[in-house]
């Protein structure tokens, strides 16, 4: 099994929890979050679990007229 770990993380938005993975972050102010985003090389949406399921990605759902 997994061992619980205490880490400093944030989510893209509060509405994303628990549908997306957390992003490791030490940012504790809005300004610090923005600064992290400006230098980040990965997408804020990289942790969206729905995009990892075959045929269930948000892009696929858009193509199928789901939205």
Residue 5's pLDDT band (boundaries 50, 70, 90)? very high
Q: How many domains does the chain have?
A: 1
Instruction: Read off the pLDDT of each residue in 35-54 and give the average, rounded to a whole number.
Output: 68
Residue 23 lies in a domain: yes
Within-domain flag for 38: yes
Phi, psi angle pair for 57, to nearest 5°: -65, 155
Please tell me the pTM assigned to this model.
0.50
How far, in Å, are 25, 31, 41, 42 from residue 48 at the CA level? 17, 24, 16, 13
Is residue 1 one of the residues assigned to a domain?
A: no
Domain presence at residue 29: yes
Q: Show the domain range for 42.
A: 9-63
**Weakest mean pLDDT among 7-11, 24-28, 44-48, 59-63:** 44-48
The pLDDT of residue 29 is above 80: yes
Per-residue pLDDT tens over the stretch 17-26: 666 677 889 9
> 24 lies in a domain?
yes
């Amino acid at each position: 099994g997994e061992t619980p770990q205490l880490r400093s993380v944030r989510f893209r938005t509060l509405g994303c929890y628990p549908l997306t993975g957390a992003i490791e972050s030490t940012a504790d102010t809005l300004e610090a979050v923005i600064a992290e985003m400006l230098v980040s090389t990965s997408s804020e949406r990289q942790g969206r679990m729905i995009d990892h399921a075959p045929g269930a990605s948000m892009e696929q759902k858009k193509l199928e007229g789901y939205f």
